[in-house]
Each structure stands twice: as C-alpha cells, then as structure tokens.
Amino acid sequence: MIIVDNLYKSFKLSKKQRKEFNTADSEAVPVDKISFKCEPGRIFSLLGPNGAGKTTTLRMISTIITPTSGKIEVAGYDVATQPNEVRKSIGFLTGSTGLYERLTADEVLKYYADLNYVPKAEFETRKKHYYDLLDMHDFAGKRIGQLSTGMKQKVSITRTMIHHPDVVVFDEPTSGLDVITAENIIKLIRDCKIEGKTVIFSSHIMSEVDLLCDDLAIIDKGKILYNDTMANFRANMKADSLTREFIRIVNENKKVNA
Amino acid sequence: MKKIILIAKKEFLDMFRDKRTLMRMIMIPLLVFPLIIYLITTVQESQSEKEALKELTIGYYLNGQSSDMIDRMDTAAPFNFLAYEDTAAITADIKAQNINLGIWFGQDFDQKYSAGEQATCGIFYRAANSEEYERFDNLIDLQKEYLVQERLALNELPADYVQPVSFIMNDKSTVEEVIGKYAGGILPYIFMAFCFMGCMLPAIDLFAGEKERGTIETLLVTPVNRVHVLVGKMIVVTSFGLLSATIALVGLVGSLYLMGDGGALTDAIAKIVTPQLVITLYLLLIPVAIFFAGIMIPVSVYARSFKEAQSILTPLNIAVIVPATLGFLPGLELTYTTAWIPIVNVVMATKAIIAGNAEMGPMIITFVSLLVLSALAVFVSFKQFGKESNVLR
C-alpha cells in the first residue's frame, strides 16, 4: 500500500536556473499538494506530460528525495521517519536505469541482494527463478557492457525484484525500449499484480496505461487533475479515444489556470 | 560497517576492471620513472660518447708569435687546428659554423711571456655550443698549467710555489643530510603528485560517472545509509591514490637501485629509504590522500558528467603541484609556521625526516593539521553528497 497525503515539493531556483527556465520565480514547485492511494494487488498509473511532476513524486515515494511537506506511507512505513524500512520494501525501476557495465549480471544481482539484506539461500532461489523465467542463464557470467539492450533490461528486472519487494515503483519503465524489450516490463508489471504487490508506474503513453492499470491519476504542473479507477475513466470519457480524453483533461486544466 | 565493506569491495572490483584505471594508476606510475631514467641515461651516454668523438676544428691566428702552444695542443686527437691570417676571418667562419672555435695571440705574447709578465690570448666561442667550448677549455687548462710549471722551472722555483696553502676539505655532513637538503623534497612531491592523480579517476568515476550512467538512483533506493555509501566510495578513492603513489615510488626507488648497481647510490638509497621513513611518510600521507579525496568528491558529486568533473578537477592539480615544489627551495624548512601550510608541511616534514633533523613540535602540528583538514574534507563531501540537488543534478 502507498498513501500519499498532501505531498508538496519545492526547489529553490538559482539565478542560472531562473534564466534556464525563463522564470522570475525564486522557487519551482514540481509537486503541489497531491494525494492518492495505491492498493496492493492493483496497478496504479501516474499519467502526465513531460515535466508534470511524475518523476519527482516517484522519487519522493522511493526516498531518493525528501518532501518539503506532506506525508507518504509505503507498506506501512513513513518515508520521513523510517526511510530504511521503506527502501527494504521497494523495488525501483526506471527507463533510464543504468547497470554497472564492468560487472557481470551475476555480480550486479549479488551486489543488490547484499545491499538489500537478502540471505544467500534466498538469493540463489530467486536468482534461479528469474534466470529461468527470463531465459538469462546464457549471459549470467557476461559483463553488462557486452549485453544487448534487451538482456540488460532483463538484468534490471531481476535486480528490481531480487529482494522480493512488496511495493514496486516504475518510472517510465519502457521509455527508449523497443516493443519486444518493453514486453518483458509489461509482463513483470502484470506478474507483480498477480503476486499481490502494490504497483505504481508513471507514463506519458496512454495506450500503455490502458493496457495495464486499474487506478489512474493524471498529473500536470504538479497538481492531480484526475484520480479514479481506469474503469470509471473509460466510462466517463467525453472524447472519442483515451489519448484524446487525456489531452482534453490536461488542456482544460490549462484553460482554468490561464 | 558490513555495508561499507560491501560497497568498497564492489567499487574496487569495478575499478580494477577498467582499463583506464590499470593504465593510469598502475602501469604509468610503475613504468614512468624506469623509462625516464633509462631514456635519460641512455641518451646522455650516447650523446657524451658522440661529443667526445666529434672532431673540433679550431682556427688560430698566431699574430707573428711562436706556434709552440698550438703545436702542443694539436697532438690531442679529436682537435684539428687551422691557421688563419687575421681574427676577422676566424670570426666569420665561426659565425658561419665552418669551424667550431678560434684562438688568437696578442702581438707581444712571446715577449711578455719570456719577460715573466702576463701575456694575452683570446678565444672565440659560441655559448650556444657550450659542450664544444668546455672540451676546448679543458685543453686550454692543460696549457695554462704547462706554462706555469715551465715558468717556475725557469726560475728554479718549486712546483707548488704558486699554491702557498693546501686546504684539506673535510665534509662532516652525512649522506642523509645532503640528500635531505637537496633532494628530500622529491619523495613527497612524487608521492603527492601521483596520489592526486590516483585519486582523481576513481573520484570522478564513482560519483559523476555513477550519475552519468544512471546507477545512482538505484543505489540510493537500497536500504544503505548515505554516509556508508560515501565512506565505502571514499575508501576506494583514497586507496587508489595511495596505491598509485606507492607504485610510483617503488618504480623510482627500484630503478635508481638498479642504476646504482651496488655502488654508492645503492648505499645512499638503502640509508634513506628505511622502514621508519616509510612508516612516517605514510602516517603523513594517508590524511593527505583523504584530503585529496575530500576535495575531489564534492566536485564530482556536483558535476553532471565525467567530462565536467574532469574539466574542474584537472586544474586543481596545479594547486597541489605548486606548493609541493616549494619543498625544493633551499633554506625553507619545517618550522612552527610552515607546519601549518598544507602540502608544504608534508614536503618539509619528509625532508626533515630524511635529513634526521625533524623536531617533534612542528611534526605534531603537521600531523594534527593534516588530520583536521582531512576531517573537514570528509565533512564537506558528506554535506555535498547529502544534497539532493547535487546527487540528481
């Protein structure tokens, strides 16, 4: 379970940044008092255009950055006061996630298992499970730098799941991947749901969201514009396609704020 | 502690598999001094041999004087004497590099010499070809000595008549003192220069490199305290600095040892590079290495990419090299004042240790100030690493 309550994040802008972003504001607010809930056994999607605040929200949920105000609870632990407990419960995968190119797949997985306090026997069992599932045995001893993008993605998936997290955070996980490689991620997200894990993933691709998610939140300029089940989103659509409905909601909000 | 070791172990493995690391931190420091020493000695030897064999053509203008001196000099093998009718022709030929040097006699040379007065003789040479002049000068020195002895004999005076006192020089300083004074700064200078270079590559790779490769986020999501991540990485940066410096010193001392081939140089090295010196050197240099890591890590944490970090850190090299060269200045020693200046104090302290005249007070100040400085650098690194604006820049 993930509970996000009145979450707010602001950054001070340096002179250089103000010039870069063409603003006179001394502060940027990537996340502006948002609240939502992700249930176990369901897939929650955070949908929004580029720069909407999706990555900042997921980074706060994953304890990488700290909220300015508001509260986040992950698997029953408070992000602010129990960050290590939260980290133990989280699997984190992004489209831009890198791996240590000079280590082998085996070494990378062992490293993350050790960092996550996974006992040796448990590690071996889980490693075998994913190696069988994703057909990874042939390149287990090869250095990451020698692997194809698809192979690397499989290692990333196993790395994310090696400590059997209750909550899995995917930040635009298929970004930059071809259809075949992205399919592994789609399958992983579905498997997580079947296993009863809490899944949150961000995307700006409506078709991907439609394919996977049970609950949806549309975010733009740090604010939640829509938050309901995917079934209700489909049922109450005013446009003729999901993508157009998503664009309609975002544009409508722009008009309100203009 | 377990996590620190785990992170350090992984980073060591990662770095040792990097060809750039092996090249820049192990191969270059190991081979640079043997190669430089080999090249210098080989080139110098072959140049000296060539120079010794090269025939020098000396133009001379007797100016109506006897040719006795030229005849005596002409017997020396690689010299060829050529007679001229005036000094202008000699000068022109030297300028045109047709001949190497020239000598002319004053018009009353023979008369003055016979009368026991000072006769005049001029020499034309090119300072740009100093080795040619030096060879000819040796020949001239022999003639001066010959003429003095001849004049003494004519006047029935003893050979040492013009040397009324014989001074017996007796050097009481030890080899260690001499080397400590003139060359003692070299050891810490080399150690610090290589230590800095050794720290640089891992400092960039383990922070800016990790950001660039997109691995930092996944590392920060693991249940490991950020201080432990920082300390684990810092251990690796510091160790590579010390490793690189140690390898450079082994290369230097080893090649000098081989060059000495059991002679005086070998004895001098054995006298200087004692276990006490090595231990003291490391006691001083470990905090220096931590300090280096501590100034490089914040820069690397701040930089967006490997390239950006490298472009900021490379000029910092000068900030280390310049103070370290102060150690070569004669007269500058470890005092209660210089002991407070970082880098300079290490060079001075090492010089004093080698010379055997290190005072306890300045030594303690040096050590304590280095410890404080390294602790400060670690603190700054921690502050910078903790800033989310830096880590996710």
Q: What is the pLDDT of residue A40?
A: 92
Do B392 and A64 make contact, defined as CB atoms within 8 angstroms?
yes
Residues of B in contact with A109 (CB under 8 A): none
Do A97 and B214 make contact, defined as CB atoms within 8 angstroms?
yes
Tokens (6 digits) for B171: 């050097």
Q: What is the pLDDT of residue B183?
A: 66
Residue B292 pairs in a beta bridge with none
Tokens (6 digits) for A125: 């069992």
DSSP state of A88: H
Is the pLDDT at B180 greater than 70? The verdict is no
- Identity of the residue in B18, B224, B389 whose CB atom sits nearest the CB atom of A115: B224
Q: What is the pLDDT of residue A44?
A: 93
DSSP state of A138: G
- Across A24-28, A122-126, B303-307, the highest mean pLDDT is recorded for A122-126
Do B218 and A92 make contact, defined as CB atoms within 8 angstroms?
yes
Residues of A in contact with B217 (CB under 8 A): 59, 62, 64, 92, 94, 97
The dihedral sign for the CA sequence B215, B218, B221, B222:
negative
Q: What is the pLDDT of residue B89?
A: 93
What dihedral angle (degrees, nearest 10) is formed by the CA atoms of B18, B22, B28, B34?
-160
Q: Are A201 and A58 in contact (CB under 8 A)?
A: no
Write the single-letter amino acid at B214: G
Do B17 and A102 make contact, defined as CB atoms within 8 angstroms?
yes
Return mean pLDDT, chain B: 85
Q: What is the pLDDT of residue B264?
A: 67
**What domains can be seen in chain B, in order of their start residue?**
2-33+175-391 (no CATH), 55-154 (3.40.1710.10)
Do B215 and A99 make contact, defined as CB atoms within 8 angstroms?
yes
Q: What is the 3-state secondary structure (H, E, C) of chain B?
A: CHHHHHHHHHHHHHHHCCHHHHHHHHHHHHHHHHHHHHHHHHHHHHHHHHHHHCCEEEEEECCCCCCHHHHHHCCCCCEEEEECCCHHHHHHHHHCCCCCEEEEECCCHHHHHHCCCCCCEEEECCHHHHHHHHHHHHHHHHHHHHHHHHHHHHCCCCCCCCCCCCCCCCCCCCHHHHHHHHCCCHHHHHHHHHHHHHHHHHHHHHHHHHHHHCCHHHHHCCCCCHHHHHHHHHHHHHHHHHHHHHHHHHHHHHHHHHHHCCCHHHHHHHHHCCHHHHHHHHHHHHHHHHHHHHHHHHHHHHCCCHHHHHHHHHHHHHHHHHHHHHHHCCCCCCCCCHHHCCCHHHHHHHHHHHHCCCCHHHHHHHHHHHHHHHHHHHHHHHHHHHCHHHHCC
Place of tokens 């001075």: B348
Residues of B in contact with A94 (CB under 8 A): 214, 217
- Identity of the residue in B3, B14, B391 whose CB atom sits nearest the CB atom of A115: B3
Query: What residue ranges do the domains of chain A occupy?
Result: 2-257
pLDDT, tens digit (0-9, with 9 covering 90-100), for A224-245: 999 999 999 888 888 888 888 8
Do A102 and B217 make contact, defined as CB atoms within 8 angstroms?
no
Q: Are B23 and B242 in contact (CB under 8 A)?
A: no
pLDDT, tens digit (0-9, with 9 covering 90-100), for B347-358: 888 888 877 777
pLDDT band at A7 (very low <50, low <70, confident <90, very high): very high
Interface test with A, best of B20, B205, B217 (most A CBs within 10 A): B217
Nearest C-alpha of chain A: how many angstroms from B220? 6
Interface test with B, best of A84, A111, A123 (most B CBs within 10 A): A111
Q: What is the pLDDT of residue B265?
A: 65
- Distance from C-alpha of B333 to C-alpha of B338, rounded to nearest angstrom: 7
| Angle subtended by helix axes A120-134 and A105-115, to nearest 10 | 140
Is A87 in the B-facing interface, judged by CB distances under 8 Å? yes
* The CATH classification of domain A2-257, taken from the options 2.60.15.10, 3.40.50.970, 3.40.50.2000, 3.40.50.300: 3.40.50.300
A96 to chain B: nearest residue by CA? B214
ipTM of the complex, rounded to two decimals: 0.86
Q: What is the pLDDT of residue B162?
A: 84
pLDDT, tens digit (0-9, with 9 covering 90-100), for A179-221: 777 787 888 888 889 999 999 988 888 888 888 899 999 999 8
3-state secondary structure (DSSP) of residue A230? helix
Do B215 and A90 make contact, defined as CB atoms within 8 angstroms?
no
Is A116 in the B-facing interface, judged by CB distances under 8 Å? yes
Is the pLDDT at B12 greater than 80? The verdict is yes
Q: What is the pLDDT of residue A183?
A: 82
pLDDT band at B238 (very low <50, low <70, confident <90, very high): very high
Do B388 and A98 make contact, defined as CB atoms within 8 angstroms?
no
Angle at alpha carbon of residue B41, lines to B36 and B45, rounded to 5°: 150
Do A99 and B3 make contact, defined as CB atoms within 8 angstroms?
no
